[in-house]
Copies of this chain bind each other. A is one copy, B any other.
């Protein structure tokens, strides 16, 4: 223990005293957002009023610079200069700007000439969503349907790309009816298509194709304050704050807990980014690298209704709307347990000024009653051995509300070296208004399930693509496919006829590492080919995949061309700073020319290189009535687990946590 504490002490020292005020991977601070705003606006004095900030974030320093700086904690080398990456729109053009904050200057400002558009801002979506309310043809449509305009609320949907040669920066505006409920998504006003041009901020297309009833408000309310008895089932509260406070420390953006050390940052697009995760090796007496940087890279949600008003609903939520921008302020005691600690996040408004999200992330120690390891031994005469170590893990949580859906995204760090990635799907399912009130009336494909009278919950998928820049004990890594292959015993050497064995292949180039996990039993391991255990096994981390739900769209279908990064469950690329977003930097109306699938066509070498693991966890969602009017969380996840990374079980010598007594309680 002494040595660990000593080491932690050194580590603390390293961050607190040697490395001045910031870490090179820290998110931009509010003050830095203000500086960026001033610098960029200042460089365009004539047109600053028309300029919109679509994205402002840290321009991540080169990895080699960060690693070299971190490896010399005691040197006087200054950290790499703080830079911001900015995307603006000005005069219908997209600008990519790099701002150097140390010199308060613009390093580059280039007009982007390719396909696709940047992240949408909240402000332009709000502006677009209210246009129908004063648009006479829409008002006529509402009147024709005998609805009250004052109870109509419109939202903003991205339009995708379906082979058009030319594109304008547009959104489609679906509208909903709130009369008697706050659950607007359960009351779609079907049949109307409204297209808004964002550069001109006006409606450029309008169709009212068909009329179907708006589903009733009854039963759609999920606010406790609006519900009537009976309530239930009753749940006891068993939570309590630990008397000694949390067992972790958050120092700036750095989190230290048990044997883990990592950095958390907030990005408007990615939301939570975990960097520089390393684990203390008790035997070696040192921290060892596991992950340089990891985050959700894209979230593809295609709906399965090809009709006029629905075909385009094939969202790329992260690149279009921003997981960071859509991160919700977490509610203590509800979104996170009583022992959670919260941190804030900042992103740039359309005007460039910092917007704060309070409680954007929570961090808590999870004690779920799990067992970290155990063994009962009764075979030794006269001895009964029972050794049990309860599990405590550390969770970092973000919740993203993307219009109707709410996603719960957890990173769970285990003392055993595993990182578990939790994905929870809740919120409101997207429903389509139909004329049917009972399944007996349905004689055609309605593309979903009748969830309420006149409301079809439309079939869809969710594909979460994680970019995981693993650095397993160093940045030169290889990817090993450990194939489990059946061997026949044909020489009568055994009474057995078969067994399986591991036939490992190291992927030489990108195509070797493109894996569809359904096809054959294979373990995926990122190893450090330059580091072996004392016994000679390569140190590694293994991917344990989650539910296997692969895309079912045709490869040549436009949404799937844009989402081609979901074709394989696993990809490996050589590290490339510019390859962050699996669907491309400009996702909105992208044409699939800047995806992971395209980058990988170069078939680069990936053996003994700095490599990045891309993993997609997918869910096919056939809605059911239980999803009405709000979905019980559907959970999934996957795991990165050390495999021959340690010389032995890294928690062998962990003492069971001491049960906390509540002193002097008189109840």
Contacts and interface: CB of A to CB of B under 8 A. Distances in A.
A567 to B, nearest CB: 14
A374 B399 contact: yes
B499 A305 contact: yes
B667 A666 contact: no
Given A380-B184, A633-B391, A440 B536 contact: yes
B557 A497 contact: yes
Interface in A369-413: 369-381, 383, 385-392, 395, 397, 399, 401, 403, 406, 408
Given A230-B2, A632-B416, A662-B662, A439 B535 contact: yes
A38 interface: no
Interface in A441-490: 445, 447, 449-453, 459, 482, 484-489
B500 A374 contact: no
A659 interface: yes
* 9 nearest CB pairs, A to B: A236-B247, A439-B536, A368-B368, A237-B657, A306-B494, A233-B259, A162-B495, A416-B632, A233-B258
B243 A667 contact: yes
Given A235-B392, A376-B328, A381-B153, A498 B557 contact: yes
Contact of A651 (B233, B364, B560): B233
A21 interface: no
A230 B3 contact: yes
Nearest to A453: B535
A620 interface: yes
A452 B533 CA distance: 10
6 contacts: A238-B392, A304-B501, A375-B401, A498-B552, A625-B643, A665-B665
B496 A162 contact: yes
B338 A387 contact: no
Given A184-B379, A369-B395, A542-B624, 9 more contacts: A129-B379, A163-B495, A182-B385, A223-B385, A227-B653, A231-B654, A236-B242, A366-B369, A485-B552
A321 interface: no
Given A155-B379, A380-B184, A536-B439, A231 B653 contact: yes
Contacts of A153: 379-381
B625 A537 contact: yes
Given A3-B230, A535-B439, A311 B665 contact: no
A67 interface: no
Chain B CB within 10 A, most for which of A1, A280, A374: A374
Contacts of A657: 235-239
B280 A233 contact: yes
Contacts of A333: 390, 656, 659
Nearest to A314: B496
A628 interface: yes
Contacts of A339: 238
Contact of A624 (B162, B335, B548, B643): B643
B239 A367 contact: yes
Interface in A555-574: 556-560
Given A373-B630, A380-B184, A493-B306, A233 B4 contact: yes
A307 B496 CA distance: 9
Interface stretch (A73-81, A137-145, A422-430): A422-430
A626 B654 contact: no
A433 to B, nearest CB: 15
B387 A223 contact: yes
A377 B501 CA distance: 52
A391 B376 CA distance: 32
Given A392-B238, A631-B649, A378 B365 contact: no
Contacts of A630: 373-375, 387, 649, 652
B521 A620 contact: yes
A559 B632 contact: no
Given A235-B258, A426-B371, A331 B386 contact: yes
A616 interface: no
A417 interface: yes
Contacts of A311: 494-496
Contacts of A406: 374-376
Contact of A376 (B258, B401, B453): B401
Contact of A518 (B258, B397, B518, B544): B518
A242 B238 contact: yes
A222 interface: yes
Contacts of A114: none
Contacts of A397: 369
A536 B438 contact: yes
Contacts of A647: 625
A415 to B, nearest CB: 5
Interface string A311-350: 1100000000000000011010111111110000000000
Given A155-B379, A367-B337, A486-B552, A459 B328 contact: no
A622 interface: yes
A560 B550 CA distance: 30
A450 B535 contact: yes
A167 interface: no
A71 interface: no
A605 interface: no
Nearest to A391: B633
A650 interface: yes
Interface string A221-263: 0111001011111111111101110110000000000110000
Most buried by B among A183, A386, A632, A644: A632
A49 interface: no
A1 B626 contact: no
A185 to B, nearest CB: 9
Given A182-B380, A374-B427, A655-B224, A648 B219 contact: yes
Contact of A244 (B129, B236, B645): B236
Given A238-B242, A625-B537, A553 B387 contact: no
Interface string A562-600: 000000000000000000000000000000000000000
